[in-house]
Amino acid sequence: MNWNSKANRRHAIAAAVAAFAILLLVRCASAPAGKRGLTNIEACGTSFDIGTRVVRWHEPGGYDAYRREKFFTKEDVPDGKLRYSPLRGGLPEAIAARAEKDGLALGDLQQVVHQFVLHFDVCGTSRQCFKVLQDVRNLSVHFLLDVDGTIYQTLDLREKAQHATYANDFSIGVEIAHPGTFAQPLSADMRRWYEKDDQGWRMKLPAWMEETGIRTPNFVARPARPDFVSGPIHGRTYYQFDYTEQQYHALARLCAGLSRIFPRIRLEAPRDANGAVIQEALSEAKLRAFDGIVGHFHVQKNKQDPGPAMQWDRLLAEARALR
């Protein structure tokens, strides 16, 4: 046998494979930044694909809640307080000690995070919502969901955002762009946000909102149902137009993605003995014990979001189909 000849062939093959691998690596590394991670969210520095458009805080056009100064005016925050916390309260002792030193790892976070809280922003667009949270109220939330279905991530999910009082320690939050609920149907306040054309009801934005921030050109935000919806929250009737189809589809993908990353976030909402989604605040003990998706009104008695128009069963069914 010609051992030298075989060895040479093996070396040649190995060299060719290595060269091909390097070529692939270079091609991937040199791909335009805008072509990578367009549908990813981040948890503990790791990216997860959820299958719908996500603009993260460090991307062009993103909303960065890590900034100490105001986002739109660049002014310093007067009290200098962080709008988020790098540590979550109520951590098991072993996790807390490690997190204090090295920060929360994904495995730690998966043990702690067990709820996804749905809010409406009462601002109409994600840009306006972030302006209010960041520059006015000194608060934070992990995600914003705009009327066209674009999701914005403002913080890594390891951070504790300030969005839902004591639930902040064990939850992730999203602010869904929407004018909110109203005490009377088609009142003057409601009509400031909605008008009718030949295709039905559509959302309109106030004249003072010169920049909407909506990424889809000429997007028209139409409620997923043709008329307003009414229903009780905390025993009082509220009126609300539905969210857009684009928001439902994107939110379902976000719910499914979070459930994959955090197994304790079940694709379920709190229900009564008859199987209906509970429309009032839970006791603190019951809320802390629940693993899944909740509304802000499940956390606080003074909140109505996401309101009676939220199609819980539709959302959860679509999310389960994607899980």
Among the residue ranges 90-94, 140-144, 302-306, 309-313, the one predicted with the least confidence is 90-94
Mean pLDDT of the chain: 89
Fold category of 38-183+226-322 in CATH: Lysozyme-like (3.40.80)
Measured in degrees and rounded to the nearest 5, phi and psi for residue 154 equal: -100, -15
Q: Per-residue pLDDT averaged across 99-113, rounded?
A: 90
Q: What is the pLDDT, as a whole number, of residue 112? A: 94
Q: Per-residue pLDDT averaged across 193-208, rounded?
A: 96
pLDDT digits (tens, 9 = 90+) for 277-291: 999 999 999 999 999
Residue 6 banded pLDDT, cuts 50, 70, 90: very low
- Name residue, tokens 């060719």: 16
- CA-nearest of 55, 189, 215, 253 to 125 is 215
Among the residue ranges 18-32, 43-57, 160-174, the one predicted with the least confidence is 18-32
Q: What is the pLDDT, as a whole number, of residue 79? A: 59
Residues 181 and 308 sit within 8 Å (Cβ to Cβ): yes
pLDDT digits (tens, 9 = 90+) for 148-186: 999 999 999 999 999 999 999 999 999 999 999 999 999
- CA-nearest of 145, 231, 241 to 202 is 241
DSSP 3-state of 200? strand
Show me where the domains of the chain are located.
3-30, 38-183+226-322
pLDDT score of 213 more than 90: yes
Top pLDDT among 167 and 100 is at 167
Residue 36 banded pLDDT, cuts 50, 70, 90: low
**Facing residues of 76 across strands?**
69
Alpha-carbon distance of 153 to 314, in angstroms, equals 24
Residues 142 and 173 sit within 8 Å (Cβ to Cβ): yes
What are the tokens at 94?
Answer: 């072993």
pLDDT digits (tens, 9 = 90+) for 176-189: 999 999 999 999 99
Q: Per-residue pLDDT averaged across 6-17, rounded?
A: 47
Q: What is the pLDDT, as a whole number, of residue 30? A: 29
Q: What is the pLDDT, as a whole number, of residue 68? A: 85
Residue 78 banded pLDDT, cuts 50, 70, 90: low
pLDDT digits (tens, 9 = 90+) for 258-311: 999 999 999 999 999 999 999 999 999 999 999 999 999 999 999 999 999 999
Alpha-carbon distance of 198 to 205, in angstroms, equals 18
